[in-house]
Amino acid sequence: MKGLFVILAAATAHIVSAHYTIPDLIVNGTTSADWVYIRETANHWSNGPVTNVNDPEFRCYELDLKNTAAATGTATVSAGSTIGFKAVCTNNQAFYHPGYFSVYMSKASPAANSASAGTGQTWFKVWEDAPVFKNGALVFPSTSITSFTFTLPKSLPNGQYLIRAEQIALHSASSYGGAQFYISCAQVNVVNGGSGSPGPLVSIPGVYTGYEPGIMLNIYSFPAGYQGYQAPGPAVWRG
């Protein structure tokens, strides 16, 4: 019995260590402490992913929507700033699952720390990092990175926003529901912005069905005539 417990404990530790959270916001090279500007996620203790793209928690995966949003700070950032997210994992500080990265934003109403922020068709994609099909295999440039950054469009209008980081881990995505989504939402107030019109706008959840070829695929074996990775969701708005 003791031996079985040791085996189960070791297996559980391995499962937990195989995942991660995204608790730290990076603004112009400065990294925040955990969960200061990012809503604490329900997997803060397990590091586990979301797998149901239709679940309400797919938006930001908050520990508790109303209380978590209100307890999270809102960072002031200028349009054109370099923004990023950093992973935290017990035994490995990296996004080491192969996958597709994207960042969405939503103009928050009435404020970024409101439980209603991010509802409706308000989300637009501002950045992505997709695998490249080369020599018959998908190459994932982001594998084993510890953080990533991107530039906010200078024409982004002023106001409060949610910034949603998402990695779609594809190592077990050959069947429906096998893709693993690692998600977090930062709260920001954008200043020194422009007069751009972000879009296309989508709802989250609702942006994916889970059957998209960029979500449900076997990254180790491709069908005849495979031409490369097809990123799910809308096109990136670049300002």
Q: Residue 88 contacts by C-beta under 8 Å, 6 or more apart in sequence? A: 20, 21, 22, 23, 24, 34
**pLDDT tens-digit readout, 168-185:** 999 999 999 999 999 999
- pLDDT score, position 94: 84
Q: Give dist(CA 78, CA 154) in Å, integer.
A: 8
Starting at the earlier edge strand, list the strands of the sheet with 82-88. 30-31, 21-27, 82-88, 147-151
Place of tokens 């308000």: 122
222 within some domain:
no
pLDDT of residue 8 exceeding 50: no
CA–CA separation, 6 and 4 (whole Å):
5
Domain range enclosing 65: 21-203
For 49, other C-beta atoms within 10 Å of its C-beta total 19
CA atoms 206, 211, 212, 214: torsion sign: positive
Any domain includes 7: no
Q: How sure is the predictor about 7, in pLDDT bands with cuts at 50, 70 and 90?
A: very low
The answer to whether position 229 is within a domain reads no
1 class by beta-carbon count within 10 Å (0-12 exposed, 13-18 middle, 19+ buried): exposed
- State the CATH number of the domain containing residue 62: 2.70.50.70
In a domain, 12, yes or no: no
Decide if 209 is inside a domain.
no
Q: pLDDT (tens digit, 9 = 90+) per residue, 182-227?
A: 999 999 999 999 999 999 999 999 999 999 999 999 999 999 999 9
Question: What is the number of structural domains in the chain?
Answer: 1
Region 117-142: mean pLDDT is 97
- 8 domain-assigned: no
Domain presence at residue 231: no
What three-state secondary structure class fits 59? coil
Alpha-carbon span 36 to 227, nearest angstrom: 42
Quick one: pLDDT at residue 18? 56
Q: Is pTM, for the whole model, over 0.75?
A: yes
Percent of the chain with pLDDT over 90: 83
DSSP code of residue 186: E
Vertex 161 angle, CA 124 and 116, to 5°? 95
Q: How confident is the model at residue 129 (pLDDT cuts 50, 70, 90)?
A: very high
Average pLDDT, the chain: 91
Q: Tell me the two tokens of residue 190.
A: 């954008």
Q: Which of 11-15, 20-24, 108-112 is least confident? A: 11-15
Q: What is the distance between the alpha carbons of residues 22 and 14, in angstroms, rounded to a whole number?
A: 19
Q: What does the alpha-carbon distance between residue 146 and residue 65 come to, in Å, rounded to a whole number?
A: 27
pLDDT tens figures, 75-114 = 999 999 999 999 987 666 788 899 999 999 999 999 999 9
In a domain, 3, yes or no: no
